Amino acid sequence: MTLVGISLPDLKKKHGFSEKIQKLAVGCYLSFAIKALNAIRELYEAGCLDRDINEGNFAITLADMRRISVLDFSMCRRCKDKEGIRLPRRSVAFRGSVGYAPLSYHTSREHYRKDDLECCIY
Predicted local distance difference test score (pLDDT) of residue 1: 38
* Structural domain for 36, as ranges: 4-15+22-121
Q: What is the count of structural domains for the chain? A: 1
* Global pTM value: 0.69
Predicted local distance difference test score (pLDDT) of residue 68: 84
Summarize pLDDT for 20-73 with one digit per residue, the tens: 555 667 787 788 888 888 988 988 888 888 888 888 888 887 777 778 888 888
Higher pLDDT: 55 or 1? It is 55
Predicted local distance difference test score (pLDDT) of residue 17: 62
CA torsion angle 63 113 99 27 (round to 10): 50
Predicted local distance difference test score (pLDDT) of residue 2: 59
Higher pLDDT: 83 or 16? It is 83
> Can you tell me the mean pLDDT for 11-20?
66
Cβ contact 48:57 at 8 Å: no
Predicted local distance difference test score (pLDDT) of residue 20: 53
Summarize pLDDT for 74-112 with one digit per residue, the tens: 877 887 777 777 777 777 777 777 777 777 777 777 777
- Residue 3's pLDDT band, with cuts at 50, 70 and 90, is low
Report the CATH number at residue 45: 1.10.510.10
**DSSP calls for 25-80:** -HHHHHHHHHHHHHHHHHHHHTTEE-S---GGGEEEESS-TT-EEE---TT-EE-E
